[in-house]
């Protein structure tokens, strides 16, 4: 399923929060940008939770102009997971999902049970269904949030900063879950951390100050930093000086020294290396990208 956003704008109290944003969501789409860039606002508009000031949204060639939030409430194509999913802290995971299933109008208890079990299995929480919501970690709560979305069988899933605050193990588990969900769903993941979407997204959009600065594949993003990334061997004592004068994007410990990657638009007398995603992102947000040249 494909979602085309055309010339979308959002003004709040005369301030442009989103300014002429056009992008095409397909596959697993990573929406990246610093805090305050407008990612949550964009996600909420796509989810139908906020109105837009101008622009339109097309889903599989069906056109929606949704000045009113009616566009999503009228259909169940889209599931939105907010930054922190927490409802009914005192009741169990199963009861939460059962309650939501009732609200969705699934009258038969056996049908609800089947749907709940299916959804819990997908998010790998089958053994945790009797735990109360307030006994779960942040990552588990988010997985319950995904389970309740899946019961509605949406085609498009919107996850706002899904990995924020998760520990390393939960991050890895979450990435695997997203890869699995990506086989059946179109997904948008917002994040301000490029590493969170590395090896996960098939397409990336970069939003800063309400404007889309880049849209393309991970490969295309990396190419934007082509020619600006260097390798340098340094002694540990020289690192702090280097950190103050250069954009060091990675530090690897070798036996006798450190091997660092540096992003620099000024030519350095060091070997150039193939850029990584984070360096492509830096090129875009600094406005120095070579535009694929
Ligand atoms: N209702 C509102 N009234 C006034 N300003 C708002 C409102 N909603 C959002 N903003 C402003 O719009 C800008 C974008 O906010 P948004 O939450 O969409 O950004 P974000 O990229 O998701 O950042 P974060 O990751 O920090 O949530 C911010 O400067 C925010 O203060």
pLDDT digits (tens, 9 = 90+) for 221-257: 999 999 999 999 999 899 999 999 999 999 999 988 9
Mutation test residue for ligand 1: of 15, 16, 33, 41, the one with most atoms within 8 Å of CB: 41
Cβ(178)–Cβ(199) below 8 Å? no
Say if ligand 1 is within 6 A of residue 12 CB.
yes
**Region 265-277 average pLDDT:** 95
CA distances from 108 to 24, 104, 216, 287 (A): 39, 12, 45, 57
CATH of 2-219, one of 3.40.50.300, 3.30.1340.30, 3.30.420.250, 3.40.605.10: 3.40.50.300
The per-residue pLDDT for 171 is 86
Residue 71 has pLDDT above 70, yes or no: no
Q: What was the pLDDT predicted at 270?
A: 95
Mean pLDDT of 29-57: 91
Q: What is the pTM of this model?
A: 0.89
Name beta bridge partners: 23: 5
Task: Tell me the two tokens of residue 13.
Answer: 């109290």
Nearest CA to ligand 1 atom 10: 17
DSSP characters for the chain? Answer: --EEEEEEEEEETTEEEEEEEEEEE-SEEEEE--TTSSHHHHHHHHTTSS--SEEEEEETTEEE--SSTHHHHT---EEEE-SS----TTSBHHHHHHHHHHHTT---HHHHHHHHHHHHHHTT-GGGTTSBGGGS-HHHHHHHHHHHHHTT--SEEEEESTTTT--HHHHHHHHHHHHHHTTTSEEEEEES-GGGGTTT-SEEEEEETTEEEEEE-HHHHHHTTTTSEEEEEE-GGGHHHHHHHSEEEEEEE-SSSEEEEEE-SS--SS-B----HHHHHHHHHTT---TT-
- Structure ipTM: 0.93
* Triad 2, 31, 84: Cα angle to 5°: 105
Q: Is the CB of 84 under 6 A from ligand 1?
A: no
How many residues in total does the chain contain? 293
As a whole number of angstroms, the distance between CA 193 and CA 197 comes to: 8
d(Cα 293, Cα 249) in Å, to the nearest integer?
Answer: 22
Mean pLDDT of 26-55: 92
Whether residue 73 has pLDDT greater than 60? no
Atom in ligand 1 nearest the alpha carbon of residue 17: 12
Torsion-angle region of residue 267: left (phi > 0), alpha (psi -120 to 50) or beta?
A: beta
Distance in Å, CA 18 to ligand 1 centroid: 10
Q: What is the pLDDT of residue 64?
A: 67
Any atom of ligand 1 within 6 Å of the Cβ of 32: no
CA 20 – ligand 1 centroid, Å = 16
Residue 57 has what pLDDT?
Answer: 87
Indicate whether residue 191 lines ligand 1 (CB < 6 A). no
User: Per-residue confidence at 118, pLDDT binned at 50, 70, 90?
Assistant: very high
Query: What average pLDDT is seen over the chain?
Result: 89
- Give the per-residue pLDDT at 105: 86
Q: How confident is the model at residue 49 (pLDDT cuts 50, 70, 90)?
A: confident
In angstroms, the CA 145 to CA 168 distance is 20
Q: Where are the domains of the chain?
A: 2-219, 223-286
Pairing of strands 78-81, 156-160: parallel
């Amino acid at each position: 399923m494909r979602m085309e956003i055309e010339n979308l704008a959002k003004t709040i109290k005369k301030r442009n929060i989103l300014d002429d944003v056009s992008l095409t969501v397909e596959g697993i789409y990573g929406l990246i940008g610093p805090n305050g860039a407008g990612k949550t606002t964009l996600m909420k508009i796509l989810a139908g939770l906020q109105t837009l000031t101008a622009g339109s949204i097309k889903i599989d060639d069906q056109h929606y102009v949704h000045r009113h939030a009616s566009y999503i409430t009228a259909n169940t194509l889209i599931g939105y997971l907010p930054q922190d999913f927490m409802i009914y802290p005192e009741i169990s995971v199963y009861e939460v999902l059962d309650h939501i299933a009732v609200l969705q109008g699934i009258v038969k208890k056996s049908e609800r049970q089947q749907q709940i079990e299916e959804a819990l299995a997908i998010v790998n929480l089958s053994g945790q269904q009797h735990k109360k919501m307030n006994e779960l970690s942040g990552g588990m709560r988010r997985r319950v949030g995904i389970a309740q979305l899946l019961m509605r069988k949406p085609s498009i899933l919107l996850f706002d900063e899904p990995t924020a605050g998760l520990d390393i193990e939960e991050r890895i588990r979450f990435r695997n879950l997203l890869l699995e969900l990506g086989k059946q769903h179109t997904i948008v993941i917002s994040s301000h951390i490029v590493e969170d979407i590395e090896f996960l997204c098939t397409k990336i959009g970069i939003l800063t100050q309400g404007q889309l600065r880049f849209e393309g594949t991970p490969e295309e993003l990396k190419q934007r930093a082509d020619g600006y990334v260097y390798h340098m061997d340094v002694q540990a004592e020289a690192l702090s000086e280097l950190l103050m004068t250069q954009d060091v994007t990675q530090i690897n410990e070798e036996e006798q020294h450190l091997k660092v990657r540096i992003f620099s638009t000024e030519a350095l007398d060091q070997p150039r290396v193939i850029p990584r995603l984070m360096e492509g992102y830096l090129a875009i947000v600094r406005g120095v990208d070579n535009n694929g040249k």
